[in-house]
């Protein structure tokens, strides 16, 4: 059973994890970004049990990440097409790839992202759209949004995790 506390349900991170936080879901989306659309393609690439793959595809479709489209009548076969909502998840996959390459690839990167024009490897970083400055723990705080409940406002006011001292503790 998934956690249902108000602070998790109101939190955008909590809602995102509810949608794509299960690791098979993230790997299915990764493969979809690389062109996989059909059940057998996901199954072959991931080595996932068919019942688990089926459940994950149903969940991702019901949550609006895929649209299921029939590509064959007899027998009926479907492909899973990325939605705009799913395409907006791509930067999360990019961030995971960059973090994995930095911290989990002691012998070097096995996958890089590159520009389609010229195949220059990218160095992914999350930036603020307004000033293009990197968003880091050291320069960020969480503040209540316009729709934050009183409980969320209290929670954010009491948290120390976004305190600059925490961000600098590892330095």
* CATH number for 88: 1.10.10.10
Return the structure tokens found at 137. Answer: 């723990």
73 and 130 fall within a common domain: no
46 and 85 fall within a common domain: yes
15 and 89 fall within a common domain: yes
20 and 90 fall within a common domain: yes
110 in a structural domain:
no
- 84-120: string of b/e by CB count within 10 Å (b at 16+)? eebeebeeebbeebbeebeeeeeeeeeeeeeeeeeee
Query: Along the 171 residues of the chain, how does pLDDT read in single tens digits?
Result: 455 676 677 888 888 888 888 899 999 999 999 999 999 999 999 999 999 999 999 999 999 999 999 999 999 999 999 999 999 999 999 999 999 999 999 999 999 999 989 889 999 999 999 999 999 888 888 888 899 899 888 888 887 656 656 555 555
pLDDT value for 39: 97
2 and 76 fall within a common domain: yes
115 in a structural domain:
no
The model's pTM is 0.83
Q: How many structural domains are present in the chain?
A: 2
111 in a structural domain:
no
pLDDT value for 138: 83
131 and 86 fall within a common domain: no
Which residues constitute the domain of residue 73? Answer: 1-105+120-124
98 and 137 fall within a common domain: no
pLDDT value for 89: 95
4 and 74 fall within a common domain: yes
């Amino acid at each position: 059973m998934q956690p249902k506390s108000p602070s998790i349900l109101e939190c955008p991170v909590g809602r995102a994890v509810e949608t794509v936080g299960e690791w098979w879901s993230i790997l299915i989306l990764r493969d979809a970004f690389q062109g996989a659309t059909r059940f057998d393609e996901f199954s072959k690439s991931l080595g996932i049990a068919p019942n688990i793959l089926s459940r994950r595809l149903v969940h991702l479709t019901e949550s609006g990440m895929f649209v299921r489209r029939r590509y064959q009548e007899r027998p009926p076969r479907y492909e899973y097409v990325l939605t705009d909502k799913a395409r907006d998840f791509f930067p999360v996959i990019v961030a995971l790839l960059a973090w994995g390459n930095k911290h989990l690839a002691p012998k070097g990167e096995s996958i890089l992202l590159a520009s389609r024009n010229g195949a220059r490897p990218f160095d992914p970083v999350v930036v603020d759209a307004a000033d293009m400055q990197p968003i880091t723990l050291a320069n960020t705080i969480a503040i209540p949004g316009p729709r934050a409940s009183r409980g969320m406002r209290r929670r954010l006011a009491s948290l120390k995790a976004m305190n600059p001292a925490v961000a600098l503790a590892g330095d």
